[in-house]
């Protein structure tokens, strides 16, 4: 794969854009602002990935030496400039959305995303829990961004609920990833939650967040946001989430944390699919 495509982590960036697609499906809408919103989330997520790799160069030499920057396939300078370009493209998309809809909230959201993503890569990632919350917040923010792009009060309310779900589960996954990355983070003097307070406490917090999200899932059916088919599909995700929670509470070694991180990501994708089925 071309290193300039690989560094975007396109699957990760597309997952961010899925939030906009889901909101559009729920509202049964497709227009130019929605397409621009998909592009904005893709560019912003990709920019966050690239600038994070730029600042994490030394850590990735240990944790992820095969990535484009630590492997030498992209220079540090080119990686930084590439990240700036992606931020600019995302911001332009946000401006065009607000210009076309005469609603400036989407543009403001993109500007806030620019700041948070940069600060996360520069300093927040090394701050215990705050960095995890920042990533979770940005994931949930995608749904809210979609809601305000459509500017429909009902859809905005739904997007906030879905955004909260994504925020909680993503935060849990980020805590698990911190357990997985402890070795490299220690070498750089990072003060992540598992380094400061231990893997066990971190796994307990991740466990609690996962269980909270699972408990919230039926509410989307109870309050008539989604139909019966949502319950069938979301049950699969809930089983995978709970299995992951049990795994990480039992064992916090690097291999287990890596598996749990992967399972949580798959579970979130299944949950997103359940949102689509719930509209039928």
- pLDDT digit string, tens, across residues 129-162: 887 888 888 888 889 999 999 888 888 888 898 8
Contacts of 214 (CB under 8 A, 6+ apart): 238, 241, 242
Instruction: Please give the structure tokens belonging to residue 175.
Output: 């805590």
Neighbouring C-beta atoms of residue 133, cutoff 10 Å: 17
Smallest CA-to-CA distance from 220 within 276, 137, 145 is with 276
pLDDT above 90 covers a percentage of the chain that reads 44
**Residue 242: its pLDDT value, please?**
95
The two most distant CA atoms of the chain are separated, in Å, by 52
* Confidence band of 270 (pLDDT split at 50, 70, 90): very high
Smallest CA-to-CA distance from 205 within 162, 183, 244, 176 is with 176
Question: Could you tell me which residue, 59 or 41, shows the higher pLDDT?
Answer: 41
**Residue 189: its pLDDT value, please?**
67
Q: What's the CA gap between 7 and 71, in Å, rounded?
A: 11
Contact 232, 277 (CB under 8 A): yes
Smallest CA-to-CA distance from 131 within 121, 139, 142, 143 is with 121
Is the pLDDT at 81 greater than 70, yes or no? Answer: yes
Instruction: Please give the structure tokens belonging to residue 116.
Output: 């948070």
Q: Is 151 helix (H, G, I), strand (E, B) or coil?
A: coil
**Residue 188: its pLDDT value, please?**
65
Smallest CA-to-CA distance from 205 within 248, 158, 161, 255 is with 248
* Confidence band of 231 (pLDDT split at 50, 70, 90): very high
State the chain's mean pLDDT as an integer: 88
**Residue 14: its pLDDT value, please?**
82
Its sign, for the CA torsion 227, 231, 232, 237, is positive
Instruction: Please give the structure tokens belonging to residue 194.
Output: 């598992």
**Residue 244: its pLDDT value, please?**
95
What are the tens digits of pLDDT across the range 101-138?
999 999 999 999 999 999 988 887 777 788 788 888 88
**Residue 41: its pLDDT value, please?**
93
Contact 68, 74 (CB under 8 A): yes
Instruction: Please give the structure tokens belonging to residue 224.
Output: 């008539």
**Residue 87: its pLDDT value, please?**
96
Smallest CA-to-CA distance from 180 within 262, 126, 253, 268 is with 253
Ordered by where they begin, the domains of the chain are 3-277 (1.10.600)
What are the tens digits of pLDDT across the range 45-77?
999 999 988 988 887 777 778 888 888 888 888
* Confidence band of 28 (pLDDT split at 50, 70, 90): confident
Reported pTM: 0.82
For Cα atoms 180, 181, 187, give the angle at the middle one, nearest 5 degrees: 145
Cβ-in-10-Å burial (0-12, 13-18, 19+) of 28 comes to: exposed
**Residue 136: its pLDDT value, please?**
85
**Residue 207: its pLDDT value, please?**
95
What are the tens digits of pLDDT across the range 171-217?
999 999 989 888 777 766 677 888 888 889 999 999 999 999 999 88
**Helix-strand-coil percent breakdown of the chain, rounded to 5?**
80, 0, 20
């Amino acid at each position: 794969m071309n290193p300039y495509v690989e560094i975007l982590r396109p699957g990760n960036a597309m997952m961010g854009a899925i939030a906009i697609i889901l909101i559009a499906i729920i509202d049964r809408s497709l227009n130019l602002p929605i397409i621009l919103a998909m592009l904005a989330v893709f560019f912003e997520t990709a920019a966050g990935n690239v600038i994070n790799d730029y600042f994490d160069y030394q850590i990735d030499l240990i944790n992820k030496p095969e990535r484009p920057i630590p492997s030498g396939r992209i220079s540090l300078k080119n990686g930084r400039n590439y990240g700036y370009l992606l931020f600019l493209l995302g911001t332009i998309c946000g401006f065009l959305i607000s210009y076309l809809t005469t609603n400036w909230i989407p543009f403001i959201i993109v500007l806030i995303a620019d700041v948070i993503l940069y600060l996360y890569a520069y300093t927040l990632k090394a701050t215990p829990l705050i960095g995890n919350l920042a990533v979770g917040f940005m994931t949930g923010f995608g749904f809210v961004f979609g809601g305000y792009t459509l500017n429909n009060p009902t859809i905005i309310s739904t997007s906030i609920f879905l955004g909260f779900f994504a925020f909680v589960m993503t935060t849990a996954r980020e805590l698990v990833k911190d357990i997985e990355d402890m070795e490299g983070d220690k070498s750089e003097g990072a003060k992540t939650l598992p380094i400061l307070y231990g893997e066990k406490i971190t796994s307990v917090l991740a466990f609690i967040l996962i269980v909270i999200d699972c408990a919230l899932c039926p509410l989307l059916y109870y309050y008539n946001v989604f139909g019966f088919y949502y319950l069938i599909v979301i049950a699969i995700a809930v089983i995978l989430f709970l299995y992951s929670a049990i795994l990480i509470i039992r064992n916090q070694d690097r291999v287990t944390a890596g598996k749990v991180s992967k399972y949580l990501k798959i579970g979130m994708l299944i949950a997103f699919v359940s949102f689509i089925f719930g509209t039928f």
